[in-house]
Amino acid sequence: MAAHTPTAVGIPAMQPFTVLSRHQREARARTATEPRDRHAGTSWMLDGACNDENPALFQPIGESALYSDQIEEARTVCSECCVMPLCREYALETRQPSGIWGGLTERDREQELRRRSRQRQQQASKRAAA
């Protein structure tokens, strides 16, 4: 009696699959539901230095001293990345709720968004006074 291998019974051999990071999966899900011109060209994500790293590196549990080494290691990867400015702006524009994006932690992004908001308010006040 012949052994039943997957090809012997007509089942195609499994194709290798690509493991995507959580960020890549979320980005793909967002771009699938958003209008095409919004964040046009998120293909830059494929060039990110983070793709060669363990995704958990960019998802510290918190920002306490316990995770400071992990955060610094992630920031080092980001600092050497050719798409860091795009990543940072994307994270700020889409208000990424977690992880390290473009070298910024959640707290860093919140602070940067507040700073930009204050700057816009000051500019609007100056225009109104003029």
Per-residue pLDDT at 107: 94
Predicted TM-score (pTM) of the model is 0.65
Is 104 within the bounds of a domain? yes
**Residues of the domain holding 104:** 43-129
Is 85 within the bounds of a domain? yes
Is 87 within the bounds of a domain? yes
Per-residue pLDDT at 64: 81
Ordered DSSP codes for the chain: -----TTTTTPPPPPP-PPPPHHHHHHHHHHHHS-TTTT--GGGGGG-GGGGS-GGGG--S-SSGGGHHHHHHHHHHHHT-TTHHHHHHHHHHTT--SS-BTTB-HHHHHHHHHHHHHHHHHHHHHHHH-
Is 95 within the bounds of a domain? yes
C-alpha 107/C-alpha 97 separation (Å) is: 10
Q: Return the structure tokens found at 26.
A: 């979320």
Q: Return the structure tokens found at 6.
A: 């997957």
Q: Which residues does the chain have with pLDDT short of 50? A: 1-8, 12-17, 32-38
Domain count, the chain: 1
Per-residue pLDDT at 112: 96
Is 9 within the bounds of a domain? no
- Partner residues linked to 24 by β-bridges: none
Give yes or no for a contact between 101 and 91, defined as CB atoms under 8 angstroms apart. Answer: yes
Per-residue pLDDT at 37: 42
Is 30 within the bounds of a domain? no
